[in-house]
């Protein structure tokens, strides 16, 4: 049995957006699951709109998500001679013809047809023109599509879809300037690259019958199609910038982990029983294109956030420390100086939903001379506080080892000795150490900060209260 070949074919006119990323993911998953090949092809036949920056951005996005490709990236712009050859083949076979109608003429006809409530389709003026020598007039090449019959296919996601050929018109396959058009080029590329399965956005459903007709005219096998539904914004309109970030890399910059993105994207339209958490590796076993839903789905940032929190919570602290470092730099923190970043991360993991929050939460560990939260200070720094803090410092100093257990012992000791509750000293210590009223656990902070820094901060608080 021959192996499956899938491809992701973005056009480089912008960054990799979440919709494209999901399409790429589905392609990648199916290729991996069936031990096939995953090919990356850049659709840059529109030379004017394509940019190298976009290509780079797309590759960066895929790499970040962990979607590697086996072949490519191939560039359509490098294949122009090949496309010309196929156009000529069709011309020679009488399956395509030159059309001399001008764009303006066509536009006028379309408008007229629309106005009269008719179909804005090519009227076939040049379809039956006798073959003639070039007389220098500009022309496009049109595909001579069958005018009767039905074209249909069984879509892996949507099931059987049929179109009446009458509804289709003779599409342009080569422009006046000699460059090929999209619908033609995809077919040639998918055919010559032996693509067996085409997974793409369902905005291509209407192009599919024309493409199938082209495959047939060319006498090459028609691939299997799977059209994945669109991703919508909260207002059920197609997802766009006004719904928030759509660029995959923007999510990295907002502190999202790639595994959260992958997990979220795959669950958008696909499910596996009641399971919610999937790694890329799980997915290569569990994913199936047939169980992708047929309807469009709304992008839900809350759920993405929840997944991100999950992956931060359960993530490897060493890796997270590496990932958070640039965000700390942005905050003017050099994590080389101060408590070990890995230990710091551990105290913050279950409190942060994004790497940004993790970074924000870590800043106090590395700052000295921070302000005390005003309300917190008013409430928790009392006249009796300095004495308690002094006692704490003394007891801490006497500790042989600084760990959670010994620190807890110190606090219990103080409470017993003074006949107070933890609530009468804890919040003050929290404020003294972090400057805020919301922080990691007190014992954790002390252990993470270390003896010297802890005592320094406590002393500073004492001085501040007595000032």
The pairing of beta strand 71-75 with beta strand 37-42: parallel
The pairing of beta strand 150-155 with beta strand 159-164: antiparallel
Report the site for RNA in 442-461 (rule: CB under 7 A). Answer: 442-443
Q: Which stretch binds RNA (CB under 7 A): 54-62, 126-134, 172-180, 280-288?
A: 172-180
Binding flag, residue 77, RNA (CB under 7 A): no
Measured between alpha carbons, how far is 65 from 260 in angstroms, rounded to an integer?
9
Binding test (CB under 7 A) with RNA, winner from 95, 144, 267, 457: 267
Binding test (CB under 7 A) with RNA, winner from 393, 439, 448, 454: 439
Binding test (CB under 7 A) with RNA, winner from 138, 149, 219, 326: 138
CB 224 within 8 A of CB 4: no
Paired tokens of 124: 């076939």
Active site residue 241: yes
- Which residue lies nearer to RNA by CB, 236 or 467? 236
Rounded to a whole number of angstroms, the minimum distance from the CB of residue 304 to RNA is 8
Instruction: Report CA-CA distances (Å) from 257 to 28, 82, 228.
Output: 19, 41, 24
- Which residue lies nearer to RNA by CB, 174 or 247? 174
Report the site for RNA in 90-109 (rule: CB under 7 A). Answer: 101-103, 106
Angle, alpha carbons 27-29-30 (nearest 5°): 70
Binding test (CB under 7 A) with RNA, winner from 205, 250, 343, 356: 205
The count of chain residues that interact with RNA, using the rule CB under 7 A, is: 82
Paired tokens of 225: 């199609």
In three-state secondary structure terms, 141 is strand
Report the site for RNA in 304-323 (rule: CB under 7 A). Answer: 305-306, 309-310, 313
Rounded to a whole number of angstroms, the minimum distance from the CB of residue 336 to RNA is 26
Q: Which of 119, 241, 313, 412 is catalytic?
A: 241
Binding flag, residue 350, RNA (CB under 7 A): yes
Nearest Cα neighbor of 191 from 46, 98, 90, 51 is: 90
Q: Which stretch binds RNA (CB under 7 A): 303-311, 324-332, 336-344, 387-395?
A: 303-311
Binding flag, residue 463, RNA (CB under 7 A): no
Paired tokens of 335: 């994590």
Axis-axis angle for helices 451-466, 442-449 (nearest 10): 120
- Which residue lies nearer to RNA by CB, 258 or 435? 435
- Which residue lies nearer to RNA by CB, 179 or 406? 179
One DSSP character per residue, 340-405 reads: -HHHHHHHHGGG-SSHHHHHHHHHHHH--SPPPPHHHHHHH--TTHHHHHHHHHHHHHT-SS-SHH
- Which residue lies nearer to RNA by CB, 36 or 312? 312
Binding test (CB under 7 A) with RNA, winner from 159, 332, 383, 419: 159
Binding test (CB under 7 A) with RNA, winner from 82, 356, 402, 422: 422
Measured between alpha carbons, how far is 400 from 403 in angstroms, rounded to an integer?
10
Paired tokens of 209: 């019958």
Measured between alpha carbons, how far is 389 from 193 in angstroms, rounded to an integer?
73
- Which residue lies nearer to RNA by CB, 45 or 197? 45
Report the site for RNA in 215-254 (rule: CB under 7 A). Answer: 230, 232, 236-238
Cα dihedral sign for 412, 414, 420, 425? negative
Binding flag, residue 46, RNA (CB under 7 A): yes
Rounded to a whole number of angstroms, the minimum distance from the CB of residue 261 to RNA is 14
Rounded to a whole number of angstroms, the minimum distance from the CB of residue 2 to RNA is 27
Catalytic residue set: 241
């Amino acid at each position: 049995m021959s192996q499956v070949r899938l491809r992701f074919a973005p056009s480089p006119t912008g960054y990799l957006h979440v919709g494209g990323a999901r399409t790429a993911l589905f392609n990648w998953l199916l290729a991996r699951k069936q031990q096939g090949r995953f090919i990356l092809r850049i659709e840059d036949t529109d030379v004017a709109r394509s940019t190298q920056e976009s290509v780079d951005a797309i590759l960066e996005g895929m790499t970040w998500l962990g979607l590697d490709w086996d072949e490519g990236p191939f560039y359509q712009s490098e294949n122009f001679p090949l496309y010309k050859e196929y156009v000529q083949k069709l011309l020679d076979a009488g399956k395509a013809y030159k059309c001399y109608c001008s764009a303006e003429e066509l536009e006028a006809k379309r408008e007229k047809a629309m106005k009269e409530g008719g179909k804005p389709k090519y009227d076939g003026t040049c379809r039956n023109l006798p073959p003639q020598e070039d007389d220098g007039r500009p022309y496009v090449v049109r595909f001579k599509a069958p005018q009767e019959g039905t074209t249909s296919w069984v879509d892996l996601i949507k099931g059987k879809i049929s179109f009446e050929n009458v509804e289709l018109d003779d599409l342009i396959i080569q422009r006046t300037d000699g460059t090929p058009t999209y619908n033609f080029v995809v077919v040639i590329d998918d055919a010559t690259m032996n693509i067996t399965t085409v997974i793409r956005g369902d905005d291509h459903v209407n192009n599919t019958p024309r493409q199938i007709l082209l495959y047939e005219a060319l006498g090459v096998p028609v691939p299997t199609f799977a059209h994945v539904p669109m991703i919508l914004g909260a207002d059920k309109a197609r997802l766009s910038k006004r719904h928030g970030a759509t660029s995959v890399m923007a999510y990295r910059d907002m502190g999202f982990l790639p595994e959260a993105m992958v997990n979220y994207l795959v669950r958008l339209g696909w499910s596996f029983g009641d399971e919610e958490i999937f790694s890329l590796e799980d997915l290569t076993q569990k994913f199936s294109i047939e169980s992708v839903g047929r309807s469009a789905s709304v992008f839900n940032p809350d759920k993405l956030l929840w997944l991100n929190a999950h992956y931060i919570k359960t993530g490897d602290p060493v890796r997270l420390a590496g990932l958070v470092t640039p965000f700390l730099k942005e905050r003017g923190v050099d994590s080389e100086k101060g408590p070990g970043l890995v230990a710091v991360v551990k105290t913050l993991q279950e409190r942060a939903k994004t790497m940004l929050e993790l970074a924000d939460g870590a800043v106090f560990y590395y700052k000295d001379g921070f302000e005390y939260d005003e309300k917190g200070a008013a409430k928790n720094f009392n006249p009796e506080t300095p004495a308690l803090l002094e006692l704490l410092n003394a007891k801490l100093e006497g500790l042989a080892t600084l760990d959670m257990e010994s620190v807890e012992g110190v606090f219990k000791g103080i409470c017993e000795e003074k006949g107070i509750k933890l609530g009468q000293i804890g919040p003050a210590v929290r404020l003294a150490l972090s400057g805020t009223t919301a922080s990691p656990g007190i014992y954790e902070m002390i252990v993470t900060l270390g003896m010297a820094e802890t005592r320094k901060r406590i002393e500073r608080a004492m001085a501040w209260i007595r000032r």
